[in-house]
Amino acid sequence: MSSGDSGPSSSKQLVQQPAAAGRSPNQPPLLGAGGRKVIVLKSGDEEEFEVDLLDAMQSRTLRRAIEDGCGDGPMPLPNLTGPVLAKVVELFRRHRGDPRWADELQETEKEGMFKDYAPQKPTAEVKGFDREFVSVDRDALFDLLRAANFLEAPGLLDVTCDAAADAVMNMTVEEVREYFGLVNDYTPEEEAALRKQHEWAFQ
Amino acid sequence: MLAREMARPESYAPPMSFSGFPEDVQLTILSFLRPPEIAAFACTSRHSAFLCGQARLWFAMCDRRWGAKTVVQSWAPGRSAGPPFSRLYRVLSQWENLIGFWRRLGRGGAGAPSLVFFEWGASSITGSVVSPSPEAGSYGVLKVPFLWLSLSPRGEPVGFLHPARRFDSNGYLEQLVSGSGNLDLDLIPVTIAFMGEDRFVVEEDKSFYADVRGGGGDLGSSDAPKSAGETSPAERHMLEMYQYFANGLIPIGDEPFIRKQRWKWERDGFGRKRWQAEQFMRIADCYPTPSRPLQGLWKGIGENMRLAFYLVTYDNMGGVACRRVGDASEPFSSYSPVFWTSSTEFLRRPFSIEEENIYDSREHIGPITSHGTGIERAVCRVLCINSSYDLVIPDSSGSYTNSQNVEGRIWVYDTGTFGFGFLRNDYIVDLQNIVRNGCLLDNVDFDSSF
């Protein structure tokens, strides 16, 4: 797995962690270094990740948990592994303020001579990150898809679903079946008829 | 099994197949596919075929592709079930090619502007004739919709064209666009046929009258169109028009009626003897690119204080030419360039004293409203140009025989726009964008141009 040089902060960096005891659920979550509001996510294999509160809001699951006051201590996510969570946290950080996932579209910074002609798109940097993010093998991609589904994170879901769709582009029917693990339950006659019907697509 | 890069705890039981994901995720994956892949996917299994037939999927595909430009679920206004998304997908993948600038070919008639702009509406694609505002010294652009394309309440693609395009009677247009007045029986149902990428024909849809009448039953009472707040007056008007036909309030498909309509057009002086098919040709390269910074469709106020449209094009030899477009008042304007040059070798800072003088001694022709306010702009590059023959900007001083008279300059500003002028006078015509982010700038409404 390519974790990049600016990976997420690991548990070792979480030095100042005030005791959660005595805090009411309505109190603001923990303050990290530099006064940022952060929460801590804990993977199924006991790895901890610090994530900016606003970044975590990209996941509806996490948002619900935070709003329910679960953001004080490390938040256990037993069905996500450390490596998966590490990638996810990094994606949340990179997608910060991305117009595709931002709840309120902010006036994006426009620069340069041709600013008026470029539609509001994510920056090339973010797109490059997204591409890199999903250049993993099939099983790893399915792990990320599963995480996206569990976390209900639209940005993560879009990036991973796009990659899965991309993977089957130009594949034959047999190859698509194999990639997605689908079982052919057509009779040979039915399948032949269907293929004939969709002949235009196979040229 | 492939070598794993990610270690998993014992409890981890991943879905190793597509069917292990919830249907929402499955449909999201499929929504990134194009129709050929959808067809291939449908052949993989029965459940796959079921998924591929889901309206939700085709909605997501439409929304992913066009959702930023239009409200896909509001197409087919008046249809309570919403638009049939798989058909909408097919229709829009054709019609989206219309978006942008086109030139109407032939039969322009005196004074008939030929520049046409297609844009997305909430539930339609609208074609408008675009012309410089007749108001002197203004950057205003007059936009008159004449063609609406959407889906009918039955989910069929429909188009209506207004043949008159009467620019001189604003009250009439106002009524047409607001839909407030009487129903406009001059609208013609039309179809669009593409001839390659860059040309299309609008033809009368002769089958429309019969079709509408035959299938009008499912319309019911349509007194409460869906999401009326979101539909534009023009769209509402189109819907009303459709329902008017469909509900049989007028004898549809009745030849005498149609003849009467045509007679009415003739009598009122609308259109020609009868409306004929119209052809349109795409104006390619309407926007500048980093390697072609001058390219595109621009507008500028000339010496006569009239706004004009200019199209700057590059040829393969590296030359640049600028022609006026969008008004037929100068019959040869589309042939002879306003200026041209065979080399785009820019002069850069520091400029020579002579060049500084040429620029400094000039007056920018600006809109009357902001006269004398002095807009901050710095010249970053200069290009030598030639005016074409005598046609350029009408000038009372007359003769253009002197060779110095054809010489001119383009001044590229640090703002990315540019101006041009000729040595024979002391003006600079500053060019501005006509469109930004797919929207016409300085659009003058009919309301305000009383």
Using the beta-carbon criterion (under 8 Å), do B40 and A171 form an inter-chain contact?
yes
* Tokens encoding B34: 């194009």
B148 and B200 share a domain? yes
Element (H, E) at A180: helix A173-180
pLDDT over threshold 80, residue B444: no
Residue A180: its chain B contacts at CB < 8 A? Answer: 17-19, 44
Domain assignment present for residue B107? The answer is yes
Domain assignment present for residue A189? The answer is no
Return the CATH number at A84: 3.30.710.10
The percentage of residues in chain A with a pLDDT greater than 90, rounded to a whole number, is 47
pLDDT over threshold 80, residue B103: yes
* Top-ranked range on mean pLDDT: pick from A87-101, B52-66, B380-394: B52-66
Using the beta-carbon criterion (under 8 Å), do A44 and B49 form an inter-chain contact?
no
Domain assignment present for residue B397? The answer is yes
Give pLDDT, residue A201. 64
- In terms of Cα–Cα distance, which of B19, B445, B12 is closest to B234? B445
Using the beta-carbon criterion (under 8 Å), do A176 and B40 form an inter-chain contact?
yes
B98 and B233 share a domain? yes
B133 and B275 share a domain? yes
Domain assignment present for residue B185? The answer is yes
Using the beta-carbon criterion (under 8 Å), do A158 and B43 form an inter-chain contact?
no
A45, closest residue in chain B (CA to CA): B9
B274 and B331 share a domain? no
pLDDT over threshold 60, residue B390: no
Using the beta-carbon criterion (under 8 Å), do B9 and A81 form an inter-chain contact?
yes
Number of domains chain A contains = 1
Degrees, nearest 5: CA angle A68-A74-A78: 90
Number of domains chain B contains = 3
| Listed residues B260, B281, B302: the one ending a domain | B281
pLDDT in tens, B260-302: 454 444 444 444 346 778 899 998 888 888 889 899 999 999 8
pTM score over 0.90: no
Return the CATH number at B31: 1.20.1280
B114 and B240 share a domain? yes
Which of A 6-45 lie inside 8 A of B, CB atoms? 44-45
Residue B45: its chain A contacts at CB < 8 A? Answer: 177, 182-186
Per DSSP bridges, beta strands B363-365 and B427-433 are parallel
Domain assignment present for residue B239? The answer is yes
Stretch B173-191: mean pLDDT: 56
Stretch B152-177: mean pLDDT: 62
Using the beta-carbon criterion (under 8 Å), do A78 and B11 form an inter-chain contact?
yes
Q: What is the ipTM of this complex?
A: 0.76
Domain assignment present for residue B59? The answer is no
Using the beta-carbon criterion (under 8 Å), do A201 and B293 form an inter-chain contact?
no
d(CA B262, CA A150): 63
Residue B42: its chain A contacts at CB < 8 A? Answer: 194, 198
A141 Cβ under 8 Å from any chain B Cβ: no
B432: helix, strand or coil: strand
Domain assignment present for residue A133? The answer is yes
Residue B1: its chain A contacts at CB < 8 A? Answer: 139
Alpha helices per DSSP H over B129-203: 170-178
Using the beta-carbon criterion (under 8 Å), do B43 and A157 form an inter-chain contact?
no
B300 and B345 share a domain? yes
Nearest to A83 among B6, B290, B437 (CB): B6
Domain assignment present for residue B60? The answer is no
B296 and B435 share a domain? yes
The dihedral over CA atoms of B148, B150, B156, B162, expressed in degrees to the nearest 10, equals -10
Domain assignment present for residue B213? The answer is yes
Rounded mean pLDDT of chain B? Answer: 75
Nearest to B29 among A1, A164, A198 (CB): A164
Residue A44: its chain B contacts at CB < 8 A? Answer: 9, 11-12
B149 and B255 share a domain? yes
Question: Residue A76 sits in which domain range?
Answer: 11-102+116-169
CA B34 to chain centre: 25
Stretch A148-155: mean pLDDT: 93
Q: Which residues of A61-78 are buried (b: 16+ CB within 10 A; e: fewer)?
A: ebbebbeeebbbebbbbe
Give pLDDT, residue A116. 35
Give pLDDT, residue B191. 92
One-letter amino acid of A59: S
d(CA A56, CA A73): 14
B319 and B342 share a domain? yes
| Angle formed by the axes of helices B233-246 and B170-178, nearest 10° | 70
Question: Residue B106 sits in which domain range?
Answer: 91-218+227-281
Stretch B157-178: mean pLDDT: 56
Q: Is the dihedral of CA B7, B13, B18, B23 positive or negative?
A: negative
Rounded mean pLDDT of chain A? Answer: 76
Closest Cα in chain B, distance from residue A34 (Å) = 32
Domain assignment present for residue A49? The answer is yes
- In terms of Cα–Cα distance, which of B67, B64, B66, B71 is closest to B30? B64
Of residues B402 and B106, more confidently modeled: B106
Establish how many alpha carbons lie within 13 A of residue B227's alpha carbon, considering only the half-sphere containing its beta carbon.
17
Nearest to B437 among A1, A82, A116 (CB): A116
Rg over CA atoms, chain B: 27
B176: helix, strand or coil: helix
pLDDT over threshold 90, residue B316: no
B27 and B141 share a domain? no
Of residues B317 and B233, more confidently modeled: B317
* Top-ranked range on mean pLDDT: pick from A46-50, A103-107, B305-309, B424-428: A46-50
Stretch B309-338: mean pLDDT: 75
Domain assignment present for residue A159? The answer is yes
Closest Cα in chain A, distance from residue B294 (Å) = 11
Domain assignment present for residue A54? The answer is yes
d(CA B375, CA A169): 52
Domain assignment present for residue A154? The answer is yes
Domain assignment present for residue B84? The answer is no
Residue pointed to by tokens 């669009």: B192
d(CA A145, CA B17): 11
B294 and B270 share a domain? no
B173 and B308 share a domain? no
pLDDT over threshold 80, residue A5: no
Alpha helices per DSSP H over B225-369: 233-246, 255-268, 353-360
- Lowest-confidence region among A56-60, B106-110, B390-394: B390-394
